Amino acid sequence: MASSEEKDSALETSQTSKPSAAASSGSRFWKQVRENIGVVVIALLLAFLLRTFVAEPRYIPSHSMLPGLEVGDRVVVEKISYRFHPPETGDIIVFNPPPQLRRQGYNPNQAFIKRVVGEPGQILSVRNGIVYIDGTPLVENYVAEPPTYQLNPVQVPKNKLFVMGDNRNNSNDSHVWGYLPRKNVVGRAFFRFWPLNRIGSV
């Protein structure tokens, strides 16, 4: 039979062990919280870096790129290739508005999407529904209809681009407001991921 002193000692041991277990449980909880916060922060940082330097999704807001791109389409815009070479004729690019559009009230961060038609140094003109580059007709199987306007020959300046919407007669583009500074280009649209029934390259 245990003595009174032995019982008291066992009781004290049992009581002192309970706070220790509770403290251990609380420590594990806060450790898990810190780990979860760390994972979330890293994920957000990676998402920010990917969106800033690699690629980002964009929404098509207007009819200017019909028939290839429709209002509501979602595309992926990649930002890597133009670090190695400049935009080329035929590329579909996303860009921020140049000064001449900002003066019209457009938000500097608003995104536009058009096709590159003229590169620096090229002479571009539009006659009788045909776009000419350096005197050679541009083959365009992607336009909604031939342009009804005329454009006298112009030479694209250094570090500038001449861009047009594929919906030639319903596009606010370089034939209206002039050249696009190369520095305003955000990236190249290359893949449509929505709607699913039209998923694929653009």
Q: Which residues are part of the catalytic machinery?
A: 64, 114
Instruction: Assign 161 to helix, strand or coil.
Output: strand
Reading phi first (left if > 0) and then psi (alpha if -120 to 50, else beta), residue 134 is in left
Which residues, at least 6 apart from 45, have a Cβ–Cβ distance to it below 8 Å? none
- C-alpha 41/C-alpha 81 separation (Å) is 28
Chain centroid to CA 92: 13
Instruction: Assign 18 to helix, strand or coil.
Output: helix
- C-alpha 57/C-alpha 197 separation (Å) is 18
Alpha helices in the chain (DSSP H): 4-53, 99-102, 174-177
Strands 55-59 and 180-181: unpaired
